[in-house]
Structure 1
């Protein structure tokens, strides 16, 4: 039987075996299992078992099977009793069993012979060892969530307490409404933002960036019961992830009314100043911050109408944040006042001839197909050459520098006080209802809205953005005990996450003529999208702003059928998810994007090296009104995309003996390809298509061929294909349907205090909407700026007349394979592969005296079929220089200007390069010379991860709790190439490699006051002073990231780059004298790269962070508690420095400097909280 037939056979067989449509799930609830025996050890079948939630009064009734085995699944986290009754035996009660998120704990019961009126009550410690599962993870209990010092009350901050995780995103973006960064954890050898998140078992993710998932909703800490970070799970019910899952369980109401109300404040006077602000003498920035909230939960009670105790419960939570805080994400460099007036002499004096400005209006052709131009005398541009638009932009919209900056003028506009104004409001309501002892349901709705304005670097219409997130989520769940040994759970979940942004609202309808642009340009841009244009001045702060509205909808249907059969706990089911996104765009590149670099202002030749970071030369281009050919104006399409995902699973937890449990499972997933509702997308690339102009271009080329490509081989071959056009299917690619995922695990108990555990599982990443968006080439269209057709001998377009031929309107797929000829394109790989992760672990768990449990494990992960972006149209590397130093003969040869065979043949919209009279030789050598870059994905990436992981935990007792994790790991990858046409990726240390990570958290109630060890008998007044004090804290250490290196020249052994830690300074993070070539005129170009991407021994700064808090509890009777808290985030004020500059020609080379440190300086949160 063929593979495809097997796949479809399984698709029909599995639901058939389950007898009806069951929906599979990843659940936050737990399970209590056990075996009932008599005093001789013989099993007791058909015993009546009741499992009771002590806080809610709800119970689950079931019976043991023929093997004496019972199983109570889908239990909310909490404290339980287990009661057993059977004729001829005394009644049995096991009390105070703590069940945590996704726990599977064993409660074995031994009955005593006796009368039914007699009873045996056992109150012992909750089983601490994981004897029923091989999966790894860490539970963050509700007390940690509520009482540890966490920024902004964001519970996801505590994901980092687990072993095997490393934080890889921006530590400054830690608020609950910054959804990408707060879950930016890499887990056990997978990339960050590739793991799943569920709340109450329902999906709680959305997409924002290609190949990543973000949190779609963050619950307030006061309504979080607890959560579990599962880094290596071998339960087949878990899928839709590359291996990691964070399971959050929200609180339910109980039989008593409980709640909280709180207010948190942060003020500048309680903040430390930024490291770099201190160095420049800049005072602490001003800001304000207010966070408040409330929660309440209990039975639903309507006087004289309904008493919901033991049956119906509610839980409500609310939180709000209002703040204005520093946020400067820009490039902290602006032109000097002298530059605005054409005087660049200071650059020449300080930086030497690398910063010479050349006069493009003196350009002329010289030998060898080159073009030459003269320098401006004294590096001063005459006022007579100023362009009105460029001069207006510089004079009226670019501010003056605020600091002296570096010698090259960089870092002269540091604004640590630049504020973001944000508001955030979140709500959540949950109800639980017991229909009968056999059926129970719950429903929850949650929502939040966030609005911000920020990035107004210039304090005028040229900059500033408005940003919003909006989240709406809901879940409905039904548990039904079909009989004493069989339980069915079904759930529907929905979340809608909206990301929206736009430029400065005051700039809407901006009048372009006020800058000096012609009136026709103003009329070509619809007023509703017209903004201040985007000016990208290389090396300097630009004026680009976003504009989008992107609702993202996720529907999920899931659940499980569980059956206790002999010593087998069986479950199986099906999972379905639908991912949809609708997007509309209105960024200011739709008004116009003008790029200024060194294209027209470097020299003396057109291929001479540019100034470091284009400093000076890019500003000169703006002042002269000469954008580069990469400038454009965009007509952007909207899209509506969707993909569907299915998963089937079967799992057996087999209690082989009293000591050995096997976890055996099989999962099958497939995800349909991405589609666009109206087929507005590129699909693939037809490599057999011959462009209509090919013969003419070939004949022209034959007159002046380059020897590497015979005229017979110079064919304009290839063009785009589109969804549902010319015989192409609607689906944008084919997805594999054979993603079979075995899951194997074992837990073997040695004595009472030690368990050996190990497991293996296969996981697959995503291929649909979460992988990336549709490609709308043709439906969106750029009108490219055409500055010149003769390499700058004459200029056709300047800022004074940027679009002399008008603006091109989108044509959809009407041009077929001729779409975007002469431009850069991308398309989908027709047969992509799902990233495959094989994960395994082996280790042991041991319980020590005093309630400490240690888990020590080796964890491995092997990734295959990882997606790598690739340019299919590079200069073939056989023509590139192999020299380890600058090879001017090869550079001159490849950049030589030859007669352009495509001139006049390209469709409207082609880049100016293809319409110039001349074209560089290297373009004629490319596989598809009639296109610019051609983007596609390849799937031959791989990765390796090996780690020693240790977790130690003591649950709260005797006044304290402690939890700690340590990870020692190595993460290698082959997901990058030196050259685009490399046969295989480069093996290197991963950019996510963090060899060491330590995370410790603890809460300690000081032993003073009533009910404590010391001063137990003091009066109420004295107790109010010395009693109720509590300390808590979180410590995090994490190795720094490997530093990324560019295509550089180094004459000595790279081992000399690293400096000992004692010698590292922000001014000299590594040895800049280790043999780097720093002369801009001698840098590499048109070469085969040889310098490594990263070194494992040369890293950015490490995380070394203490978050500490002091809490004073003042109890008013037993029911009420007033809590005062002072929380010190980064209490020791350890700065985290940014990654150092690795551009040898830059003035800041080797310096780990920026406008602000990478983390926050010490922050103090003051909270008052009322608990009842």
Structure 2
């Protein structure tokens, strides 16, 4: 520990001797015409747009570096006594770029100016990435003005979020994956400082959230860094996205714009066409204005050359169309008439009746349960007596709408019988103001305030009225403030201080919040127990029908303060940068979702309560009989988490030779584990203590929870990981001017985002569905013939905090975080070449790979006896009745009516499954430990990027990524301890992108009709074409977790292109279930293949039986369909006067109107649609949308 403190002290001390990232910089070397070093030469850097200058001198090795520059156009002047003065001008400096400008001065006293043009190869940094320059930001067709779409055009990237929503506030920038790393694990920067909001999001649970969302018109450019070897980059696993805002110049610039959408310009969605639904209304108006320039107050202040501003406002209003295909109950069911129930038998291709069975007639003989069907009355089957129906369930039933559509073919007689319009209403506004001030020759200051908010109303279930679920509303509001101060101590030593303050507030109501629960038959005493959860329809999820009700709402906040003091020091051929990255984060939940939550399925009305089949049971019928299959009532706490992060770093860019640069850096992260202000979470599970509940039991039991800040336990989730040194090294070599060879290696530490359990501070009351092991229901929704009242939770357990100690959570499942968790580390490595072709073209070939170790996995430490489970496994010669029989597999419950177990089924049920008493800690259910450092990921890729740019008239950019990613860690089967190792679920083999814009060479001064008069030029000149095209191969496809290939001796699931057939639209694989009466093992055999005989041969599959072995997952060969997107625009510009033009543009998104179905192939072999894409649920991308754009730019 003493050594650690010494090292940390030295690193922290270096920060104030040195300092951090230099952002954009110009560097170079000055020699005479013979190549001899010219030291102490005067260097002047001038911003051509603001006339702001910075001066420095060359070192003893002739080198110079000027850091902390803003992107823009520059000139560099070199002068020395006895030599000509030379100026190189029109130098373009892009975000996070180092531009190398050398001088070879001639003897004399002449002043010479040279214009620099063409592409600048990055010869000084090994970082891999590319800049999306201002022309591409403004001219490419962006759906919703979402800059994340441009970031996804870089090689090695892909977007892992929903492609249906691509709006600025959908957090697409944060939802990117770079080089196979987890989405949300990238650094988000704005003007070189962190732009990540603290985790206080009420809706999006990703690892990172974008703080301020800069409007497109306010962005100068941005850089996507896919291999960030500079030590300034930290708290990431993947890459970095650094956006730079515009700054005012000595001329007034600005724009006024409107992006308009209307339904008559759009195509109809696939699901609407499929269901013969007319195209719904769609309106969007996205408008705003941007203005920048010098601050000038007539006769009072002239800010030219020193004071500049940027102002931006944007507003968004949209009604976005949507259609849902729901499944709702048939009206006659509320009277007990289920005579019309049918299912599709894929083996015969016909519809057959579904029979309902009475759960109160259940009998078990020789381990085999049987039930009697409900009676047939007047020739109608499935007639439930009305006095057996629950008034609560009938009242809930009435909240469903009546069916309005024919059910889907080859399904049940009710699937997809309701078509619901589901428009989304959004309001969004964004405001920005920025001031840049030059204070004398040595100081520059920038201040920025940004604000955005949005509100969304969205019925996500399609159920109208009080039973709806969705966003009612979902609101977000963000306020940000960012200062930046640059001070020049000496020409060689420059200091920079950046900071960002972000406050993010979220509110989410999941549905209407003014429901009267007395209409469901609940009395005042029951409702009073519900507290804050007593004003909405209880969320009820059905296995066959659209869910109804909601879970309340929540209000969350996130506060973040990031500070980045840094310096740049040029010493001989070394440019040294050092700094301290400080982050202070808070996130809080004032009110979380919770309350009553029920699940209903076929269990109570199917023939065998232990095993379902398509020919019996109905979940709504089960509900009407007065009970659910399971449920909970959860009370959640108010929480406020805090986390601090300290990261000193130092980077040395060593110019070994003119054409050889070595980048060496080291970073040290102290990522403190979060703490909760009042210690409202579980710390760990102690297996060694004797649980105090043993005093009330005949047999002592071990193990119990421990809490932070109690009995010496720390206040944080886990111990501080101090082994977090991150060396980085990179090499750039330019054997000749048009070629750069670069490579690098670096260690990175992922930003952990733990989700602690608050057992004790939250309280969960379990719904008691049955008192005899699931044989018969409790009917506690109130049934007249049973004499029960509507009281699903007779007693609601209240939070006890840590007061019960190890007795907390008795009778329930627990989870906790590994207290010795180490931050996962990622090793990144790459090597490649950049080749320039002339002054306009570049080609880059790159190998990029990474390996992540110590990633988080989980394990159940309270497993049931493997020996007994094996006796119940038919695959091993066992019988499931050994574990399930209500007469032989259930024993006296030692926890029945024992104080401390209230709220759990252990307290209310006199018998308990013997299997549960074989757990090491039988007083609990499953106990899951999370954040176990046992996972690994490895990624390899070949990437190619090609760029061709001719001034502002033509830009073409294309990429190709060929990659593979694997993962391992945890267990496919926790009982049989089968480790998991598979291809990564989001692995794609190929991804191709193409983008570009072309200002047609027609009109005055152009290649064609260059002498056209004004009127002809207005007609034929100023036309521009632009496009974005992406194509990506599909993700791996496999069978579901209940199915495996028959005869898999090593228990590994194998799926190959010749094993599964019917995975294209021309094939329809039908499977028949065959059960061995001796072993109970069922297999599915291919019996027909439709009309296409090219689907393959006969193959068998095994349905993994109860207590069977879950094999490891290995995908080989079959992938879901790939995705493609083609957007394009055509625009016409008119010159209003010399510096002002008006642009009319037509943007089209998804031009060929190709639907994407992200659900992939149906992987349930019991479905008639197995191996097919079930399209009736709707496409996951937007149909073709056309946008009208109007921009006045000056």
TM-score range, shorter chain: over 0.9
* Deviations 1:1028-1065 (CA, angstroms, capped at 9, x unpaired): 00000111011111125322043378877638999754
Return the alpha-carbon distance in structure 2 between the equivalents of residues 331 and 576 of structure 1. 49
State the match for 2:478 in structure 1: 471
Return the alpha-carbon distance in structure 2 between the equivalents of residues 557 and 289 of structure 1. 38
Worse overlay, 1084-1093 or 728-737: 1084-1093
Flag the 1:203–1:349 CA change in 2: closer, same or farther, 3 A.
Answer: closer
Equivalent residues, number = 1135
The answer on 1:1120 being equivalent to 2:1126 is: no
Please list, as runs of the form range in 1=range in 2, the aligned pairs for 1:943-958 lying within 5 A after superposition: 943-957=937-951
Return the alpha-carbon distance in structure 2 between the equivalents of residues 39 and 196 of structure 1. 44
* Deviations 1:214-244 (CA, angstroms, capped at 9, x unpaired): 2223211011111111010111111010131
State the match for 2:837 in structure 1: 848
Aligned to 1:120, which of 108, 112, 122? 112
Aligned to 2:537, which of 532, 550, 553? 532
State the match for 1:704 in structure 2: none
Q: Residue 567 of structure 2 aligns to a residue in which SS?
A: strand
Worse overlay, 1079-1088 or 668-677: 1079-1088
**Deviation for aligned residue 1:200:** 1.0
Q: Residue 978 of structure 1 aligns to a residue in which SS?
A: strand
Return the alpha-carbon distance in structure 2 between the equivalents of residues 349 and 415 of structure 1. 20
Return the alpha-carbon distance in structure 1 between the equivalents of residues 234 and 864 of structure 2. 42
Please list, as runs of the form range in 1=range in 2, the aligned pairs for 1:496-575 lying within 5 A after superposition: 496-505=503-512, 507-508=513-514, 510-526=515-531, 530-542=535-547, 543-575=549-581
Q: Residue 475 of structure 2 aligns to a residue in which SS?
A: strand
**Deviation for aligned residue 1:536:** 1.5
State the match for 2:392 in structure 1: 389
The answer on 1:1004 being equivalent to 2:1026 is: no
Worse overlay, 443-452 or 1083-1092: 1083-1092
**Deviation for aligned residue 1:91:** 1.3
State the match for 2:670 in structure 1: 670
Flag the 1:244–1:804 CA change in 2: closer, same or farther, 3 A.
Answer: closer
TM-score (normalised: structure 1): 0.93
Return the alpha-carbon distance in structure 2 between the equivalents of residues 978 and 190 of structure 1. 22
State the match for 1:703 in structure 2: none
- Whether the 8 Å CA contact 1:670–1:738 is kept in 2: the answer is no
**Deviation for aligned residue 1:308:** 0.7
State the match for 2:770 in structure 1: 788
**Deviation for aligned residue 1:616:** 5.0
- Whether the 8 Å CA contact 1:1069–1:1140 is kept in 2: the answer is no
Flag the 1:616–1:266 CA change in 2: closer, same or farther, 3 A.
Answer: farther
State the match for 1:920 in structure 2: 913
- Whether the 8 Å CA contact 1:145–1:221 is kept in 2: the answer is yes
**Deviation for aligned residue 1:547:** 0.9
* Deviations 1:221-273 (CA, angstroms, capped at 9, x unpaired): 01111111101011111101013100001111111000011111111121112
Please list, as runs of the form range in 1=range in 2, the aligned pairs for 1:77-226 lying within 5 A after superposition: 77-115=71-109, 118-126=110-118, 128-179=120-171, 181-206=172-197, 207=199, 208=201, 212-226=207-221
**Deviation for aligned residue 1:997:** 0.6
State the match for 1:827 in structure 2: 816
Q: Residue 987 of structure 1 aligns to a residue in which SS?
A: strand
- Whether the 8 Å CA contact 1:149–1:1034 is kept in 2: the answer is yes
Flag the 1:879–1:848 CA change in 2: closer, same or farther, 3 A.
Answer: farther
Flag the 1:1060–1:8 CA change in 2: closer, same or farther, 3 A.
Answer: same
- Whether the 8 Å CA contact 1:62–1:485 is kept in 2: the answer is yes
State the match for 1:711 in structure 2: none
State the match for 1:454 in structure 2: 458
Consecutive unaligned residues of structure 1, counting only runs of 5 or more, are 700-714
State the match for 1:65 in structure 2: 59
The answer on 1:1163 being equivalent to 2:1163 is: no
State the match for 2:1089 in structure 1: none
Aligned to 1:425, which of 425, 429, 437? 429
Flag the 1:413–1:873 CA change in 2: closer, same or farther, 3 A.
Answer: farther
Aligned to 1:603, which of 586, 604, 607? 607
Please list, as runs of the form range in 1=range in 2, the aligned pairs for 1:844-923 lying within 5 A after superposition: 844-881=833-870, 889-895=878-884, 896-905=889-898, 907-913=900-906, 915-923=908-916
- Whether the 8 Å CA contact 2:343–2:353 is kept in 1: the answer is no
* Deviations 1:10-67 (CA, angstroms, capped at 9, x unpaired): 11111223445x7645x7x311100011111111111111111111111111111111
State the match for 1:706 in structure 2: none
Please list, as runs of the form range in 1=range in 2, the aligned pairs for 1:113-512 lying within 5 A after superposition: 113-115=107-109, 118-126=110-118, 128-179=120-171, 181-206=172-197, 207=199, 208=201, 212-327=207-322, 332-348=326-342, 350=344, 355-364=354-363, 366-368=365-367, 372-377=370-375, 378-406=381-409, 407-409=411-413, 411-413=415-417, 415=419, 417-455=421-459, 457-464=462-469, 465=471, 466-505=473-512, 507-508=513-514, 510-512=515-517
Q: Residue 92 of structure 1 aligns to a residue in which SS?
A: strand
Worse overlay, 141-150 or 1143-1152: 1143-1152
RMSD: 2.7
- Whether the 8 Å CA contact 2:404–2:419 is kept in 1: the answer is no
Flag the 1:855–1:1166 CA change in 2: closer, same or farther, 3 A.
Answer: same
Aligned to 1:8, which of 5, 9, 12? 5
Q: Residue 73 of structure 1 aligns to a residue in which SS?
A: strand
Return the alpha-carbon distance in structure 2 between the equivalents of residues 326 and 360 of structure 1. 43
State the match for 2:627 in structure 1: 626
The answer on 1:726 being equivalent to 2:711 is: yes
Return the alpha-carbon distance in structure 1 between the equivalents of residues 1171 and 940 of structure 2. 31
**Deviation for aligned residue 1:596:** 1.3
**Deviation for aligned residue 1:871:** 2.6
Q: Residue 43 of structure 2 aligns to a residue in which SS?
A: strand
Q: Residue 600 of structure 1 aligns to a residue in which SS?
A: helix
Return the alpha-carbon distance in structure 1 between the equivalents of residues 698 and 997 of structure 2. 77
- Whether the 8 Å CA contact 2:1054–2:1113 is kept in 1: the answer is no
Worse overlay, 1106-1115 or 270-279: 270-279
State the match for 2:780 in structure 1: 797
Q: Residue 392 of structure 1 aligns to a residue in which SS?
A: helix
* Deviations 1:612-632 (CA, angstroms, capped at 9, x unpaired): 9xx95321121112023x312
Flag the 1:285–1:864 CA change in 2: closer, same or farther, 3 A.
Answer: same
**Deviation for aligned residue 1:913:** 4.7
Aligned to 1:17, which of 5, 14, 17? 14
Flag the 1:247–1:547 CA change in 2: closer, same or farther, 3 A.
Answer: same
Flag the 1:968–1:633 CA change in 2: closer, same or farther, 3 A.
Answer: same
Aligned to 1:1136, which of 1152, 1156, 1159? 1156
Q: Which has the higher strand share?
A: 2
* Deviations 1:639-667 (CA, angstroms, capped at 9, x unpaired): 00011111111111000011210001111
- Whether the 8 Å CA contact 1:1047–1:1091 is kept in 2: the answer is no
Return the alpha-carbon distance in structure 2 between the equivalents of residues 291 and 259 of structure 1. 17
- Whether the 8 Å CA contact 1:854–1:951 is kept in 2: the answer is yes
- Whether the 8 Å CA contact 1:1059–1:1071 is kept in 2: the answer is no
**Deviation for aligned residue 1:1093:** 3.0
State the match for 1:741 in structure 2: 726
**Deviation for aligned residue 1:284:** 1.8
Please list, as runs of the form range in 1=range in 2, the aligned pairs for 1:1141-1160 lying within 5 A after superposition: 1141-1152=1162-1173, 1153-1160=1175-1182
Worse overlay, 802-811 or 162-171: 802-811
- Whether the 8 Å CA contact 1:753–1:847 is kept in 2: the answer is yes
Return the alpha-carbon distance in structure 1 between the equivalents of residues 396 and 558 of structure 2. 38
Flag the 1:266–1:593 CA change in 2: closer, same or farther, 3 A.
Answer: same
- Whether the 8 Å CA contact 2:221–2:244 is kept in 1: the answer is yes
Worse overlay, 870-879 or 632-641: 870-879
Return the alpha-carbon distance in structure 1 between the equivalents of residues 353 and 839 of structure 2. 69
- Whether the 8 Å CA contact 1:598–1:610 is kept in 2: the answer is no
**Deviation for aligned residue 1:517:** 2.1
State the match for 1:53 in structure 2: 47
Return the alpha-carbon distance in structure 2 between the equivalents of residues 876 and 829 of structure 1. 23
Return the alpha-carbon distance in structure 1 between the equivalents of residues 120 and 868 of structure 2. 65
